[in-house]
Amino acid sequence: MLEVHDVSFSYDNEKLILDAVNLQVRRGEITVITGPTGSGKSTLALVLAGFIPRTIEGTFTGSLLIDGENAENSPISEIAHKVALVQQDPESQISTLLVSDEVAFGPENYSVMPSEIQKRVNVSLNAVGSLHLANRPTYALSGGEKQRVTIASMLAGEPDFLLLDEPSASLDPKGIQQLQKVLLGFKNSGYGILCIEHRLATILPIADRVLRLSKGKISKWSGKTNSARTTPAEHFRRPDSVEPLLVAKGVSYSYGNISAVRDVALSVYPGEIVALMGNNGSGKSTLINLLAGLLHSTVGITYLDGVPSNEMTAQDVAARVAVVFQNPNHQIFERTVQREQHLVFDILESLGEIPSERPDEVLLAAGLAELKERNPFSLSHGQKRRLNVSSVTVHEPLVYLFDEPFIGQDEIGRNFITQTIRKRGKSGGAAILVTHDSAVATSLCSRIIFMERGSVLLDGPPKIVLSRLNEIGYSEYADLGATS
Amino acid sequence: MTIEHQSTESGSILHRLNPSLKLAGLIIITTGILIYPSWRFSGLLLFLIILGFMISNVPLDMSKRRIRFLVVFSALLFAFQVLMTANGTILFFIIPKYSSMGPFLPVTDFGVEKGFGMSLRFLLVVFSSMLFVSVTDPTLLAHSFTRFRIPYRYSFALVIALRFLPLFDMENKTVRMAQRSRGISISVRGMSRILRTIRYTFFPLLISALSRVDALSLSMDGRGFGHSRTRTYLRKSSWNALDSAVLVLLSALLLASILLTLGFLPQVSAII
Question: Nearest CA of chain A to the CA of B241: how many Å?
Answer: 25
List pLDDT tens digits, range A145-157: 888 899 999 999 9
All residues of chain A having their beta carbon less than 8 Å from the beta carbon of residue B177 are 289, 294-295, 323, 325
User: What is the rounded CA–CA span in Å between residue A408 and residue A165?
Assistant: 10
pLDDT digits (tens, 9 = 90+) for B230-264: 999 999 999 999 999 999 999 999 999 999 999 99
Using DSSP bridges, classify how beta strands A246-255 and A217-220 pair: parallel, antiparallel or unpaired: unpaired
CB contact under 8 A, A314 and B179: yes
A122 to chain B, any CB pair closer than 8 A? The answer is no
Average pLDDT, integer, range A93-111: 94
Q: What is the average per-residue pLDDT within A9-16?
A: 88
Q: Does the beta carbon of A292 lie under 8 angstroms from any beta carbon of chain B?
A: yes
> Buried b / exposed e across A68-102, counting CB within 10 Å, b at 16+?
eeebeebebbebbbbbbbbbbbbbbbbbbbbbbbb
Cα(A10)–Cα(B237) distance, integer angstroms: 46
Among A213, A185, A103, which Cα is nearest to A151's?
A: A103
Q: In whole angstroms, what is the distance from residue A186 CA to residue A154 CA?
A: 12
A122 contacts on B by Cβ (under 8 Å): none
pLDDT digit string, tens, across residues B70-79? 899 999 999 9
Residue A233 pLDDT > 80, yes or no?
A: no
Residue A84: phi and psi, rounded to 5, are -115, 135
Residue A460, beta-bridge partner list: A448
Nearest-5° angle of CA A93, CA A97, CA A102?
55
DSSP per-residue letters across A44-57: HHHHHTTHHHHTS-
Q: Taking CB atoms and an 8 Å cutoff, what residues of chain A touch B220?
A: 95, 105
Q: Do residues A98 and A36 touch, judged by C-beta distance below 8 A?
A: no
| pLDDT the model gives residue B1 | 39
| Contact list, B169 vs chain A (CB under 8 Å) | none
User: A-chain residues within 8 Å CB-CB of B137?
Assistant: 97-98
Q: Which residues of B touch A112 (CB under 8 A)?
A: 232
Query: CB–CB of A133/A146 below 8 Å?
Result: no
Per-residue confidence (pLDDT) for residue B8, from 0 to 100: 44
Query: What single-letter amino acid sits at B178?
Result: A
* pLDDT higher than 90, residue A202: no
Q: State which residue of chain A sits closest to B212, comparing Cα positions.
A: A92
A102-124: average pLDDT: 95
Q: Specify the pLDDT at position B124.
A: 96
A203: number of Cβ within 10 Å? 25
Query: Per-residue pLDDT for A444 more than 70?
Result: yes
Cβ atoms of A207 and A167 closer than 8 Å: no
Digit-coded pLDDT (tens) for B4-41? 445 545 579 999 999 999 999 999 999 999 999 899 99
Report the pLDDT value the prediction gives residue A232, as an integer from 0 to 100: 53
Count the Cβ atoms, other than its own, within 10 Å of residue B108: 17
Confidence band, pLDDT 50/70/90 cuts, at residue A288: very high
Query: N- to C-terminal Cα distance for chain A?
Result: 31
| Cβ–Cβ gap B211/A92 under 8 Å | yes
pLDDT greater than 80 at residue A256: no
Amino acid B5: pLDDT: 47
Torsion of CA A386, A388, A392, A396, to 10 degrees: -10
- pLDDT recorded at residue B52: 94
Q: To the nearest whole angstrom, how far is the Cα of A480 from the nearest Cα of chain B?
A: 29
Write the pLDDT tens digit of every residue in A462-481.
999 999 999 998 888 877 65
Which pLDDT value is given to residue B102?
Answer: 82
Residues written for chain B: 272
The pLDDT assigned to A28 comes to 94
Whole-number percent of chain A with pLDDT over 90: 62
Nearest-neighbour CA in chain A from B214: distance (Å) = 9
What is the reported pLDDT for A483?
47
Distance CA A482, CA A437 (A): 10
DSSP A165-231: ESTTTT--HHHHHHHHHHHHHHHHTT-EEEEE-S-GGGTGGG-SEEEEEETTEEEE------GGGGS
Closest of A282, A246, A288, A283 to residue A267, by C-alpha: A246
More confident residue, B60 or A274: A274
DSSP A409: -
pLDDT of residue A392: 95
Q: What does the pLDDT look like over A291-321, one tens digit per residue? A: 999 999 989 999 999 999 989 999 999 999 9
What residues of chain B lie within 8 A of the CB of A141, using their CB?
none
Q: What is the DSSP letter of B224?
A: T
Band of residue B140 on the pLDDT scale cut at 50, 70, 90: very high
Distance CA B190, CA B197 (A): 11
C-alpha count within 13 angstroms, C-beta hemisphere, residue B179: 20
User: Shortest CB distance from A331 goes to which of B159, B178, B236?
Assistant: B178
Which residues from B are below 8 Å from A291, CB to CB?
none
- Mean pLDDT for A324-345 is 91
Q: Is the pLDDT of residue B80 over 60?
A: yes
Question: Percent of chain B at pLDDT above 70?
Answer: 95
User: Is-contact A408 A88, C-beta < 8 A?
Assistant: yes
pLDDT single digits (tens) A41-89: 999 999 999 999 998 989 999 999 999 999 988 999 999 999 999 998 8
Facing residue for B234 by CB, picked from A77, A108, A138: A108
- Answer yes or no: is pLDDT of A228 > 60: no
* Cβ atoms of residues B262 and B30 within 8 Å: no
CB pairs under 8 A between A and B: 196
- Does residue A332 register a pLDDT over 70? yes
B52/A410: higher pLDDT: B52
**DSSP code for A299:** E
pLDDT of res. A391: 95
The CA distance from B227 to the nearest CA of chain A, in Å, is 6
Pair A88, A165: CB distance under 8 Å: yes
Higher-pLDDT residue of B194, A434: A434
A277 has pLDDT over 60: yes
Chain A, residues 54-83, CB within 8 A of chain B, namely: 55, 76-77, 80-81
Confidence of residue A236 (pLDDT cuts 50, 70, 90): low
Rounded CA separation B164/B213 (Å): 10
B22, B28, B31, B35: CA torsion to nearest 10: -160
With an 8 Å Cβ cutoff, are A89 and B215 in contact?
yes
A260 shares contact with chain B (CB less than 8 Å): no
Amino acid, single-letter form, for residue A224: K
With cut-offs at 50, 70 and 90, classify the pLDDT of residue B2: very low
Query: For B227, which of A51, A110, A113 is closest by C-beta distance?
Result: A110
Inter-chain touch A95–B208, beta carbons under 8 Å: no
Spatial contact of A291 and A246, defined as CB atoms under 8 Å apart: yes
What's the pLDDT score for residue B6?
A: 52
Query: How much of chain B, in percent, has pLDDT values that exceed 90?
Result: 56
A358-365 and A381-393 helices cross at what angle (nearest 10)?
150
Q: Which of A330, A336, A388, A395 to mutate: most B Cβ within 10 Å?
A: A330
